A and B are shown apart, each in its own frame.
Chain A
């Protein structure tokens, strides 16, 4: 892939390619297995399934739908878990009220949608509301008990109890569905064959436009966060704070302000995810603990404090939930649970986590 020159000149891409080639030559069996697996998955997705195969594994339509739903659900989980992992990474604060922020954002977005009639404006509103609540939590409470991990976590737990009860009070126990705007309604044709008609025509997959759009938005937000963390000054401060908070503050950076910003941003992201959740499924009582659990598992699997880890974890958990629902309903959550246990047993810091 590269010449010997690659070593001396060492531009970044050449170095990467070189590392890739070396990895392949070091682990030929693993590389071959991965290559075959990738080809197999591509075949599963794009080729029409032969009849015998469908007899064993069920209809291809089910598989493709589970795949797409899993990936888009992973996008939603990423939005929730990214804020959670960012807050945890920087402030060592396990924010157990994160699920409540998600639910609060969903309700606020719903209200804003009812007032203004604009789906996009509701995102802005939900983000602002949740960011305000998050900043207030950091300023009023967590700032006073810095370094006391357990106490902070217990406070977030108490807050989540109060928040969820207050939200039941205001919005009741019924599920609320956020309407998809007209311009995102309806399905999108995709070039993926799900079945062959008896006449020989191929049936192509139609997938809801809104889910695809939201997934793309989640990817863009993820890439944007990665760029912000790695290419901007404030991102550099956050990364430095994750590594050594005390040193950063000794160097004269305004750590407290950074904490407030990160908490507000993470909370706002959870709030926006609430609208996404309300559009995908619905928002109701109990969703807060569902999404708190999801973000816990995502960051445990992906690695605490790591944004790429959150993305990977969200994808894995989203897929495992959807495939679990389709292929073994009685034990759907066990799949997620088993993944978490295996990761914890083999790599306690998470797939992309650092010690």
Chain B
């Protein structure tokens, strides 16, 4: 964040305005955090879980994609699959309505095992695609994601095929029933906030800076002694951790998981979320997720209300995505940055 800001002020040419803006930025995030913490006092359970909770979870999974794509230059389509695998694993090792498959281990065994398996898968996927360059990543990870989707669809012995699993409650621990909407909301908020802060921290830590170096010029990084492949694989492992936690929360929120959860459409939607939000800053993932969730929840009704066919939701998503890719490749963040830069340069000019 700090880096991009210094760069931006240099371009904008208004150095004196930099410090207060930096504080203002922090102020905005802190204010947002405060609003989110106090939200349960005013919002209904529907808004809490189905809008904000879902946004935060999708934002987390998109954040893992943003981390890889924005800082590492690797557009990995396997993140939704990592989340889905973690979700499936927690139902297989933990509780569900299917005693023939689920092992009913306690959550504090099931959740770590699920996370470890998902992270191992994400790291392996990274190791496979990190050896190839650039655009190949998208092909390989898309193929892996689709393979997982068809596997969940066809396999009945572990993934219960087309039906998937239902009744996967969040556990009870620390004396709190995390199934209840408010408790679950705080659980989600905690992990989303934690992963946001961690990604921001890592982006400025030596590892994150080296990763951004491998994105900009892998050859030069190799020449000055960095192991580029190892950095990339480590980035995949970290991103998989975020996605896996998001996947488990998603299952607890929806109380079900099926092949569609990590299907091809969901995989692509996740990329749409990350790109529309913007790959330049971690907040973009959450912005994209919010737009997606609001569209998904209300677009059907509003489309019908203005006399259009509500089933054309995907066309709207696709067209919106196309407009963003064609006219603002850095997403909503880019739009906002350009807009604020223009506003600043105009106010800078007007006194003269």
Contact = CB atoms under 8 A, between A and B. Distances in A.
A binds B: yes
A158 B272 CA distance: 8
Nearest to B127: A345
Contacts, number: 110
Of A292, A300, A344, most B-chain CB atoms within 10 Å? A344
Contacts of A165: 312-315, 318
B325 A333 contact: no
A291 to B, nearest CB: 11
A329 to B, nearest CB: 7
A157 interface: yes
B155 interface: yes
Interface in B312-326: 312-315, 317-319, 321-322, 325-326
B139 A94 contact: yes
Interface residues of B, number: 41
Given A154-B325, A296-B143, A329-B154, A304 B315 contact: no
B147 A158 contact: no
Contacts of B322: 155, 158-159, 162
Nearest to A166: B315
B151 A159 contact: no
Interface string B190-224: 00000000000000000000000000000000000
Given A330-B156, A344-B128, A158 B135 contact: no
B142 A296 contact: yes
A183 interface: no
Nearest to B267: A289
A330 B155 contact: yes
A169 interface: yes
B343 interface: no
Interface string A326-355: 000111111011001100110011000000
Contacts of A38: none
A225 to B, nearest CB: 21
Q: Is the interface of A mostly helix, strand, loop or mixed?
A: helix
Nearest to A288: B264
Nearest to A141: B326
Interface string B130-160: 0110111011101110110011001111000
B75 A150 contact: yes
B147 A337 contact: yes
A345 to B, nearest CB: 7
Contacts of B138: 94, 150, 153
Interface string B293-314: 0000000000000000101111
B282 to A, nearest CB: 19
A47 B336 CA distance: 71
A59 interface: no
Contacts of A161: 268, 272, 314-315, 317-318, 321
B154 A332 contact: yes
A339 B341 CA distance: 51
A297 interface: yes
A153 B275 contact: no
A98 to B, nearest CB: 11
Nearest to B158: A330
Interface in A136-157: 141, 149-151, 153-155, 157
A141 B146 CA distance: 27
Contacts of B272: 158, 161
B314 A345 contact: no
Contact of B131 (A141, A292, A348): A348
B143 A340 contact: yes
B151 A331 contact: yes
Contacts of A336: 147
6 contacts: A292-B146, A297-B143, A300-B143, A333-B154, A337-B151, A341-B128
Interface of B: 75, 128-129, 131-132, 134-136, 138-140, 142-144, 146-147, 150-151, 154-157, 264, 268, 271-272, 275, 309, 311-315, 317-319, 321-322, 325-326, 329
